[in-house]
Amino acid sequence: MTDVRLSEKARGFLTSYLTSVKLGGLQRAYVVGSFDYKKTIATQQTRASVLALAASIQPPQKSMNVAVIGGGFAGISCAATLLKLGHSVELFEQKDRLIPIQVRCFDRYIHPTLFDWPDCDIDANFRMSGINWSPGFADAVSRQTIESFDAIKSKHAMRYRPHFSMTIEDIEETPEKKYTLLTDRRFTFSGFDAVFFTVGFGFESPVMIGDRIRRYWATSNLDHIHGTKQSPVKVLVSGAGDGGLLSVLNCALKNYDHAILHELAPKIFSKRTKRRIAEIEKEIQNGIAGGEEVSVIAKYDEAFRSRIDGWKKHFEPLVSEEVNVVFNSVDRGVFSPGSAALNRILVYLLLRMDLIDFVGLPLKPDIVSEEVDADHVDHIVDWPGRGQTRYRHIIVRHGVSRKFFENSFPTLEAAISPIKGLSPQLALERAIPDDILEILREL
């Protein structure tokens, strides 16, 4: 195994982090990214790389034969780090390719630090464990990541073995503390010293309401939703997380491009305002960590409601007159506390400037009906206590299932209970000691 020199502080952090992601009752089985609140491509990759390093420095510090379950961004980063540290890796992916969800998505923009705004460097590129990518749309970032990994695995070809179209269903630990994996085809793979579950949150939860809207990472075609100034189309967007917020912005803003949101923010917000937004983010994160119910909109109102009219003259020209957007959320604070601050504050401004409408009632299949015309389909929602409203489009962004891991590996449900309250650290990346980040970036 490659020798790694770390400070005592770094070793202490890695040992603590390893405890927070270790499956109960199994000595060397870990899960990363499936129970965290903040889920971006970069944070998942960082967590996976840190996990691989943390497991590598544990006694008896030797080269291991490792199973990595999941071939997305986190799985690639985990495998790359392990290979560079001198371990042998077998990677298992249930689809027929790496990064199957994000490849061929051409309208979702990925940035390594934009979701940390305003406390971030918006010009940053991602670089860790030999995986390098620049901000871009999902397909381009996926291909940059795969190209980086191709270069790594070609140098370590004798220690890397992939298995595609292979679903892992169970894991067994032998008395010798070795691991056997059982697949859906009843094949077994044995002799692993450690197992890393990097399956993340899985796919978006299916909701059969209104349009047959594609999943979040599919090319959405929302650019084709438009009417005229004289007859704007009414669009309902349901969902309080980043998926819903981005769809609101996509429909509401003229010539929407997620890539330029970070260029838009400095034109609207002063340094003082950004500092206040950053303070509110810390209050939200501390509230979540303390188990509090955090009302995001109440905090925004307290800080910014009196300034709305002054901002409106700068913001109003950006809004399309061809689309009437209705934002639907049942979250107590309107916005999901785990969503990105930039997305939240922009939709908040749209709401408080009365540039979009809001409905705070549950959207359920039994209150939705369809009316078919010659050239389009209208959706009629019979809101309880509000009556019927007609929408040309309904976009449902209700996020991913928090039980994806349990549903995928039901025999491990008891093993995850000890770590569920430990791993959701919103500011994990900022807590990582500098020498750990430096080692991973130079690895």
Nearest to 109 by CA among 152, 147, 144, 140: 140
Distance between CA 154 and CA 257 in Å, rounded? 36
Is 214 a domain residue? no
- Can you read off the two tokens belonging to residue 303? 């800080």
- Whether 318 maps to a domain, the answer reads yes
Q: Which residue has the tokens 């962004």?
A: 397
Phi, psi of 171 (to 5 degrees): -135, 140
Q: Assess if residue 208 is contained within a domain.
A: no
How far, in Å, CA of 177 to CA of 429, rounded? 31
Residues 245 and 298 in one domain: yes
- 3-class SS at 16? helix
CA distance 281 to 312: 23
**Mind listing the pLDDT tens digit of every residue in the chain (443 residues)?**
667 888 999 999 999 888 888 998 899 999 987 877 667 899 899 999 999 999 999 887 789 999 999 999 999 999 999 999 999 999 999 999 999 989 988 877 888 887 778 877 666 799 999 999 998 889 999 999 999 999 999 999 999 999 999 999 999 999 999 999 999 888 899 999 999 999 987 766 666 665 554 566 766 667 677 788 899 999 999 989 888 898 899 899 988 877 677 677 777 888 899 999 999 988 987 887 777 888 999 999 999 999 999 888 888 888 999 999 999 999 888 998 878 898 999 999 999 999 999 999 999 888 998 888 877 888 999 999 999 999 998 888 887 767 788 888 888 888 887 776 554 443 455 678 889 999 999 99
Identify whether 211 is part of a domain: no
Same domain as 173, residue 247: no
Which residue type does 266 have?
Answer: P
pTM of the model: 0.88
Examine the domain organization and report whether 94 and 109 are in the same domain: yes
**Domain ends where: 396, 411, 426?**
396
As a whole number of angstroms, the distance between CA 314 and CA 328 comes to 25
The reply to whether 213 falls in a domain is: no
Q: How many angstroms separate the CA atoms of 406 and 236, rounded?
A: 32
In a shared domain, residues 127 and 249: no
- What are the structure tokens assigned to 120, written together? 């971030």
CATH number at 153 reads 3.50.50.60
Residue type, 137: F
- Does residue 443 contact residue 84 with C-beta atoms inside 8 Å? yes
**152 and 238 fall within a common domain:** no
- Do 422 and 392 share a structural domain? no
| Total domains present in the chain | 2
Whether 233 and 310 share a structural domain? yes
- Tell me: do 135 and 255 sit in the same domain: no
Same domain, 361 and 420: no
Q: Look at residues 347, 357, 355 and name the one whose alpha carbon lies nearest to residue 391.
A: 357
Residues 239 and 388 reside in one and the same domain = yes
Residue 216: inside a domain: no
d(CA 271, CA 285) in angstroms, rounded, equals 21
CA distance 428 to 439: 17
Domain shared by 103 and 230, yes or no: no
Which domain range does residue 48 map to? 8-203+401-442
Q: Is residue 217 part of a domain?
A: no
Same domain for 146 and 244, yes or no, is no
**CB contact at 8 A, 347 and 358:** no
16 belongs to a structural domain: yes
Q: Which conformational region is residue 25 in: left (phi greater than 0), alpha (psi within -120 to 50 degrees), or beta? A: left
